[in-house]
Amino acid sequence: MANILIIEDEASIQRMIEYDLKQLDYTVELSSDGKDGYNKAKSDHYDVILLDLMLPSMNGLDICKKLRNRDVESYIIMLTALSDEYDIIKGFEAGADDYMTKPFSPRELTARIKAGLRRTQTFKKEDKISYQGLIIKPSSYEVFKNNEKIELTLKEFELLLYLVKNRGIALSRDQLLTNLWGFSYDGDSRIVDVHIFKLREKLDKDSTWLKTVRGIGYKIVKTD
């Protein structure tokens, strides 16, 4: 689901956070030491990093700065007893996304973690994509419209998925062909129109959201 790294030397706090997060099905890793934590973090495969400021061997601010210098984009939440305005600002200047002072509410922490994940998780692989009344399941190649299963052929499915993933963007026939049929496809680009027609027939008879962009191609409107 999501990977979280906790760099914190107080064992009691470590355990408390770890427990809460595991309850929520996150994958949690621990580090009690600054250097060790930094080495783990720089791999950039954590979605969220909880970072204490006062640590053995390397302090939290430096860790944060160095990570940002390496383009690590994990969502970093600083956790510290330092509640001075000055310290807080230093924390943000070092590149933190959020800052919590101890003692803190565990629930608030998890709420802040979730908020951070919401922001970073754009490239998270979805198992289910919702759009209007539709549910698309890429792994099983199924589509439901108002909870009723709709049978689509493979090309129809791929086309729908691609359009929904790129909702709000007008996609040219050529773009669709190279992305869905492969760059070497050299047939008639109007094959796209035929599939669009089929999709509309099955899912959007009135073209309320699967729109034609005349002269360009097609797009799915962003919901409001």
Partner DNA sequence: TTGTTGTGTTAAGATTCTGTTAAGAAAAAA
Partner DNA sequence: TTTTTTCTTAACAGAATCTTAACACAACAA
- Residue 204, interface with DNA (CB under 7 A)? no
Residue 193's Cβ-count burial label (10 Å; 0-12, 13-18, 19+) is middle
**Encoded tokens for 126:** 């979805």
- Residue 182, interface with a copy of itself (CB under 8 A)? no
- Residue 219, interface with a copy of itself (CB under 8 A)? yes
Q: Which does 105 bind (CB under 5 to 8 A by kind): DNA, a copy of itself, none?
A: a copy of itself
SS3 181: helix
Q: Which does 196 bind (CB under 5 to 8 A by kind): a copy of itself, DNA, none?
A: DNA
The span from the CA of 204 to the CA of 218, in Å, is: 14
The span from the CA of 97 to the CA of 75, in Å, is: 6
The span from the CA of 118 to the CA of 129, in Å, is: 15
Residue closer to DNA, measured from CB, 52 or 204:
204
In degrees, rounded to 5, the angle at the alpha carbon of residue 15 between the alpha carbons of residues 11 and 21 is 145
Of residues 42-71, those binding a copy of itself (CB under 8 A): 69-71
Q: Which does 148 bind (CB under 5 to 8 A by kind): a copy of itself, DNA, none?
A: none
- Of 26-34, 82-90, 104-112, 185-193, the segment contacting DNA by CB under 7 A is 185-193
The span from the CA of 119 to the CA of 96, in Å, is: 14
**b/e map of 146-170 (b: 16 or more CB within 10 Å)?**
eeeebebeebbbbbbbebbeeeeee
- Residue 150, interface with DNA (CB under 7 A)? no
Q: Closest approach of Cβ 116 to a copy of itself, in Å?
A: 8
Interacting residue ranges for a copy of itself, rule: CB under 8 A: 69-71, 73, 75, 85, 88-89, 91-93, 95-98, 105, 107-108, 111-112, 114-115, 118-120, 122-123, 126, 139-141, 153-154, 168-170, 213-216, 219, 222-224
Interacting residue ranges for DNA, rule: CB under 7 A: 151, 153-156, 181, 185, 187-188, 190-191, 193-197, 200, 207, 212-217
